[in-house]
Amino acid sequence: MSGIITRRTVLTTGALGAGLVLSGCDKAAEQPTLRKILFSGEKINQGLQRALSTRHALAPEFRPDQMSPIFRTNGNRNPNTPDYNTMVAEQFADWSLQVGGLVARPLAISLAQLRAMPARTQITRHDCVEGWSAIGKWRGPLLGSILKAAGVRDTARFVVFTCADMMGGQPYYESIDLIDAFHPQTILALALNDAPLDIGHGAPVRLRVERQLGYKHAKYVMKIDAVASLDGIGQGKGGYWEDAIGYDWYAGI
Ligand SMILES: Nc1nc2c(c(=O)[nH]1)N[C@H]1C(S)=C(S)[C@@H](COP(=O)(O)O)O[C@H]1N2
Ligand SMILES: [Mo]
């Protein structure tokens, strides 16, 4: 994004523009004076312009020869609940991804339907906060396409992922804002290194949100909800680790 941001630019960026202005972590955009500048059609200061465009920058992508020979697993490596074990035994034939919350059309998407969607392939580096990294090839549909199909309402600001595995008696959960949700590298990965996602890496589908640290990349995603606020979800900090031990909600790399 270069040049002058005008009211027109902000309005015509559509869903991304809405996320850009309304997203929770862009506190700057919520302040009345800055809001006025953003919507005034005048030149905005370069620092703010840079800060806003940074959120849309792409994460580095790598060559096949740079892929890690082994991509380790971390956190839960198998939800191992009766429900999940049944789904595995049935090869996820009855599984469906629930998409709901602040959407015009709640969806239940089967694995076959997800696999039939146009997919993006990306070789990226996963960085875990515990101090290890791995480069892997991920493939899956854009989260943004799914959200567009569901018709995210204007009042939504975040997307919450509810997972099949339990942590401290609750399903693992994570959330991202609409900027990251519609980022061109944010996918629901169905495959790692050209093989269907295995149980360790989040079968049947896991989030890849490449500008953020590992714990944001929810595995075993069962349900996606568009919400206006993170209040009342878990303990309100937007993710399992955020609630449990105070990890940052925005874990930008
Ligand atoms: N559902 C779920 N998602 C999760 C976790 C988890 O325990 N449960 N661990 C997170 C952490 S800390 C990391 S580093 C990555 C690890 O992904 P991997 O097992 O595919 O390497 O998954 C993240 N997503
Ligand atoms: Mo991690």
Question: Which residues are in the CB-under-5-Å shell of ion ligand 2?
Answer: 128, 214-215
pTM, rounded to two decimals: 0.83
Distance of CA 93 to the CA centre of its chain: 24
For the stretch 214-240, pLDDT in tens is 999 999 999 999 999 999 999 999 999
Lowest pLDDT segment from 49-58, 133-142, 214-223:
49-58
Contacts with 48 (C-beta within 8 Å, 6 or more apart), sequence order: 28, 34
Q: Is the CB of 84 under 6 A from ligand 1?
A: no
pLDDT in tens, 155-179: 999 999 999 999 989 999 999 999 9
Q: What CA–CA distance (Å, rounded) separates 253 from 211? A: 6
The strand pairing partners of 123, in sequence order, are: 137
Residue type, 124: T
Nearest CA to ligand 1 atom 18: 73
d(C-alpha 82, C-alpha 98), whole Å? 19
Sequence-distant (≥ 6) Cβ neighbours of residue 110 within 8 angstroms = 95, 96
Ligand nearest to the CA of residue 241, numbered in listed order: 1
Residue nearest to atom 23 of ligand 1 (CA): 215
Check if 157 has its Cβ closer than 6 Å to any atom of ligand 1: no
Whether the CB of 220 sits within 6 Å of ligand 1: yes
Q: To which residue do tokens 């609750």 refer?
A: 170
CB of 217 within 6 A of ligand 1: the answer is yes
Task: Find out whether the beta carbon of 123 lies less than 6 Å from any atom of ligand 1.
Answer: no
Q: Is 75 close to ligand 1, i.e. is its CB under 6 Å away?
A: yes
